[in-house]
Structure 1
Amino acid sequence: MEQGQALDLLDQMLWNAVVLAMPVLVGTLVVGLIISVFQVATQIQEMTLSYVPKILTAAFLLIALGPWMLGRLTDWARELYLSIPTLGQ
């Protein structure tokens, strides 16, 4: 395997990781910002008020987008395994 092929595989892996993690991270970020604005507006400083909605949002997004995430990861892994015979050349 050449250095360029290894870097290409690493690049594909990192981009897939970013694409798969992005919906959950963005969803929890948006919910966290909304809760933070609510806390500042009402001056409620309860710590669990920010954690519980973010956990519920992450769980909902993982359940809703799980099949898509698993399909994308499976397609990439299948592509990787099928390219193994060509990596030694």
Structure 2
Amino acid sequence: MTPEFVVGFARQAIEVTLTIALPMLGVGMAVGIFISVLQAATQIQEMTLTMVPKIVAIFITLLVAFPWIMDKMMTYTTNLFLNLPNYIQ
């Protein structure tokens, strides 16, 4: 194994991880910004008002994106196992 191979392999794993996490992180950020603007406009400073909608929105996003996430993970894992003999050399 060359250092370039290890770096490329790690880069690919990080890219897949970030790609899978991006929908949930984006929705969480958007809902958080919306709730923050709502709190600033109404001057309501309740901690649960920020957490509960974000958790619900992230969970719904996870349910909607789950087939796509599983497809990405299955593709990555399949490629990893199919190329395992090449990685050992």
Q: Which TM bucket (shorter chain)?
A: over 0.9
Which residue pairs with 2:78 in the alignment? 78
Asked if residue 68 in structure 1 is aligned to residue 68 in structure 2, the reply is yes
Query: How far has the Cα of 1:7 moved from its partner?
Result: 1.0
Asked if residue 45 in structure 1 is aligned to residue 19 in structure 2, the reply is no
Query: How far has the Cα of 1:6 moved from its partner?
Result: 1.1
Q: TM-score, normalised by structure 1?
A: 0.96
1:1-89 mapped onto 2 (5 Å cutoff): 1-89=1-89
What CA distance in whole angstroms lies between the structure 2 residues aligned with 1:75 and 1:88?
Answer: 20
Q: TM-score, normalised by structure 2?
A: 0.96
TM superposition outliers: structure 1 runs of 4+ over 4 Å: none
RMSD: 0.8
Query: How far has the Cα of 1:88 moved from its partner?
Result: 2.6
Percent of aligned pairs with the same residue?
35
List gaps (5 residues or longer) in structure 1: none
Query: How far has the Cα of 1:2 moved from its partner?
Result: 1.7
